[in-house]
């Protein structure tokens, strides 16, 4: 099978398209014909070597699958050949999704929502699972609360806006001016152009000085230290961008704030919740660009470029003609 | 009435014992004859001027009251003259407890547990309310979980150990060697001499490498950055020591940790819960030293001195003969 192989840690040129042996499903596993995958910041962090200790080389990486079950191993009861599925491969445990075939444990695989194309479906598992983990599981965002979502036009951000709206929260988000209408189309109640107005000022103005209940940090920078200024008492910050630089969090005590640090966990169980939202019309991923498997290095370059113009996600069409 | 007045922000010499007008209870308020108060780190932080913006001088400060209701204002229904009460005065809103009389809103006052002396009872409201807020409200410590309590021989720490045991958690705590038996007498399952063994090493050894579910930081220092090393996945850190120095929290993401920053809130509602624990024999404050009202400056000096030898709390006998 064709696979995009990471030969060494480094830039996008570290990838090489090659022929790799097609895997076989063991007991409890399914073999999936990958129709599409997508690109996440985690992907280029892995490529750069940020997690070198957990990724033996050469490696097939990639963290999203939408495809069709080709065969099942002994004991598999939930899936049959021909089923459309979506999932995030087990993180740092075996090959990823940049390949024509992928094998996964039955327990981490979900049924793909039929109303999404494979390209759309491949854009959801990692970012959708992350947004669910952050807003629902960790921050406990509730109906009637307010949330500031940083980077609302991005991969996680554009799903988080829709999820927060589905929860019944009031949603503020930061975007560049070019993405104003995109953010509004996703349901954002208040859109802040962070290059024109300080977001803390904007939040305090919009909330009458109270602040929001939850800040979702998808961008890093100084969000950890500044977030308390935009928070209400007992507000929560949830962050998915790990930063080694020391952070001044002195304002967190005065707000009785809670910080939830989120690193990707397996999304088992969340896929069916996300599927329900898709079926109800409350969640739809936005495919901002599509590349073929062979052009994954180009896709990485685009995602890593600041102000890359991509809205939502970059999808990768793996099957010759992804339906 | 006699009152210890803070004349300026600075050292213990900034206090002056003086005669002040006895306050009167307005509607919804009670006048309390203060039998005892106690000293907290918050007290010397206020005295130093850490919260100068919130404390107009001259000021009667102090954050714990145990006493007897002397008179009630119009509309007070819960209390009558002669009732024994305990509470924390409203923080940064009016006079504190370093005086022979104090007026408080009925709604923040609780009935003192009859089995405690006034000196004992005065040691509970602020630290007990803080420990309750930290472990019960914010960290959500549950039966069967494990917790590391830093500074288990201190004011908050010695109450937190007993509270965590009452919750049904396994309790580890750090103390100096001289306080080993004291910590064990409070119910600690594992006592760590932090000067003899690194506490992260000790916790990992005691938990078979898993880490604890909750770390309660009562000491500051590098506890924020090091805590994730002692935490299990999805563990929680709860901290009451505000630190302006930037903190490296990069390990927090890998542990999917949550940090709860706690600044004193009014303890309304928690007093009755604490009273129940006292009545059941699950909580008993330890009075490590007693000073008269006139010697509050000495009491401050002692509490501020590192390794001061005090176990539990320093109480202040305000009434001529506190029973």
Q: Is pLDDT at A260 greater than 90 in this prediction?
A: yes
- Taking one residue from A and the other from B, the number of pairs with CB-CB distance under 8 angstroms is 75
In a domain, A42, yes or no: yes
Cα separation, B152 vs B144, whole angstroms: 20
User: How many angstroms from the chain centroid is the CA of residue B144?
Assistant: 25
For residues A192 and A174, the answer to whether their CB atoms sit within 8 Å is: yes
DSSP state of B134: I
Q: Quick one: B204 and B253 in the same domain?
A: yes
* The predicted structure's pLDDT at residue A242: 84
Instruction: Give the residue with greater pLDDT, B21 vs A320.
Output: B21
Q: Quick one: A91 and A159 in the same domain?
A: no
A66: left (phi over 0), alpha (psi -120 to 50) or beta: beta
Q: Quick one: A224 and A298 in the same domain?
A: no
Domain boundary, last residue among B261, B276, B294: B261
Q: Quick one: A306 and A252 in the same domain?
A: no
Q: Which residues of A touch B240 (CB under 8 A)?
A: 253
Q: Is pLDDT at A3 greater than 50 in this prediction?
A: yes
Q: From the list A138, A256, A263, which residue is nearest B261 (CB)?
A: A256
* The predicted structure's pLDDT at residue B133: 95
Overall average pLDDT of the A40-65 stretch = 96
| Residue linked to tokens 């988080």 | A160
Q: What distance in Å separates residue B139's CA from the closest CA in chain A? A: 10
Query: Which A residues, 186 through 225, put their C-beta within 8 Å of a C-beta on chain B?
Result: 224-225
Q: Which residues of A touch B138 (CB under 8 A)?
A: 256, 258
* The predicted structure's pLDDT at residue B320: 64
In a domain, B295, yes or no: yes
In a domain, B19, yes or no: yes
Q: Quick one: B136 and B254 in the same domain?
A: yes
Kindly state the tokens that stand for A226. 């500044």
* The predicted structure's pLDDT at residue B322: 43
In a domain, A163, yes or no: yes
* The predicted structure's pLDDT at residue A9: 98
Q: Quick one: A45 and A161 in the same domain?
A: no
Q: Which residues of A touch B243 (CB under 8 A)?
A: 249-250
Q: Say what angle helices B223-230 and B199-206 make with each other, to 10 degrees.
A: 20
Q: Quick one: B50 and B109 in the same domain?
A: yes
Kindly state the tokens that stand for A223. 């969000």
How buried is B143 (Cβ within 10 angstroms: 0-12 exposed, 13-18 middle, 19+ buried)?
exposed
Q: Is pLDDT at A266 greater than 80 in this prediction?
A: no
Q: Quick one: A158 and A53 in the same domain?
A: no
Domain boundary, last residue among A246, A261, A276: A261
**What CATH number should be reported for the domain holding residue B196?**
3.90.180.10
| Tally of domains within chain B | 2
Where does chain B have alpha helices with state H? 41-48, 118-121, 125-132, 155-167, 180-185, 199-206, 223-230, 251-254, 270-279, 296-304
Best interface-test mutation with B: which of A231, A245, A249 has the largest number of B CBs within 10 A? Answer: A249
For residues B174 and B148, the answer to whether their CB atoms sit within 8 Å is: yes
Best interface-test mutation with B: which of A215, A222, A260, A261 has the largest number of B CBs within 10 A? Answer: A261
A262 and B253 in contact by Cβ < 8 A? yes
Sign, Cα dihedral of B215, B90, B57, B4: negative
Cα separation, A67 vs A56, whole angstroms: 26
Range of the domain at B193: 128-261
Give me the percent of chain A exceeding a pLDDT of 90: 89
Overall average pLDDT of the A25-43 stretch = 97
Kindly state the tokens that stand for A119. 């390209």
Q: What distance in Å separates residue B295's CA from the closest CA in chain A? A: 31
Overall average pLDDT of the A263-285 stretch = 90
Q: Quick one: B151 and B212 in the same domain?
A: yes
Q: Quick one: B32 and B153 in the same domain?
A: no
Q: Quick one: B99 and B193 in the same domain?
A: no
User: How many angstroms from the chain centroid is the CA of residue B107?
Assistant: 20
With an 8 Å Cβ cutoff, is B248 touching chain A? Answer: yes
Neighbours of A284 (CB within 10 A): 19
Phi, psi of A249 (to 5 degrees): -115, 25
Overall average pLDDT of the A251-270 stretch = 88
| pLDDT < 50 regions, chain B | 322-323
pLDDT tens sequence across A138-192: 999 999 999 999 999 999 999 999 999 999 999 999 999 999 999 999 999 999 9
In a domain, A276, yes or no: no
Q: Among candidates B188, B195, B97, which has minimal Cα distance to B148?
A: B188
* The predicted structure's pLDDT at residue B323: 43
3-state helix, strand, coil in chain A (%, to 5): 30, 25, 40
* The predicted structure's pLDDT at residue A319: 82
In a domain, B251, yes or no: yes
With an 8 Å Cβ cutoff, is B313 touching chain A? Answer: no
A242 and B253 in contact by Cβ < 8 A? yes
Overall average pLDDT of the A244-253 stretch = 88
In a domain, B309, yes or no: yes
In a domain, A180, yes or no: yes
| Residue linked to tokens 């009630």 | B72
ipTM of the complex: 0.89
* The predicted structure's pLDDT at residue A246: 87
* The predicted structure's pLDDT at residue A30: 98
Q: Quick one: B34 and B149 in the same domain?
A: no
């Amino acid at each position: 099978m064709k696979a995009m192989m990471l030969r060494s840690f480094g830039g996008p040129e570290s990838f090489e398209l090659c022929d790799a042996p097609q895997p076989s499903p063991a007991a409890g596993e399914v073999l999936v014909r990958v129709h599409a995958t997508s690109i996440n910041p985690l992907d280029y962090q892995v490529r750069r070597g940020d997690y070198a200790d957990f990724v033996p080389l050469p490696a097939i990486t990639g963290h999203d699958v939408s495809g069709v079950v080709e065969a099942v191993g002994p004991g598999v009861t939930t899936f049959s050949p021909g089923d459309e599925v979506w999932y995030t491969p087990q993180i740092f445990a075996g090959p990823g999704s940049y390949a024509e075939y992928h094998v996964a444990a039955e327990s981490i695989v979900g049924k793909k929502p039929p109303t999404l194309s494979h390209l759309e479906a491949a854009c959801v598992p990692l970012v959708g699972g992350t947004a669910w983990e952050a807003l629902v599981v960790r921050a406990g965002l509730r109906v009637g609360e307010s949330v500031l979502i940083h980077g609302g036009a991005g991969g996680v951000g554009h799903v988080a806006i829709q999820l927060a709206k589905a929860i019944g929260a009031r949603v503020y988000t930061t975007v560049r001016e070019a993405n104003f209408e995109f953010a509004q189309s996703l349901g954002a109640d208040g859109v802040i152009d962070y290059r024109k107005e300080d977001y803390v000022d904007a939040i305090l103005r919009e909330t009458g000085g109270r602040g929001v209940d939850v800040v979702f940090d998808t961008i890093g920078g100084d969000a950890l230290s500044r977030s308390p200024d935009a928070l209400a008492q007992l507000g929560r910050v949830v962050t998915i961008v790990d930063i080694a630089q020391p952070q001044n969090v002195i304002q967190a005590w005065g707000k009785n704030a809670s910080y939830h640090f989120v690193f990707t966990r397996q999304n088992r169980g969340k896929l069916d919740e996300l599927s329900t939202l898709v079926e109800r019309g409350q969640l739809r991923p936005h495919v901002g660009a599509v590349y073929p498997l062979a052009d994954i290095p180009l896709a990485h370059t685009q995602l890593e470029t600041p102000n890359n113009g991509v809205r939502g996600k970059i999808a990768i069409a793996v099957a010759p003609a992804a339906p």
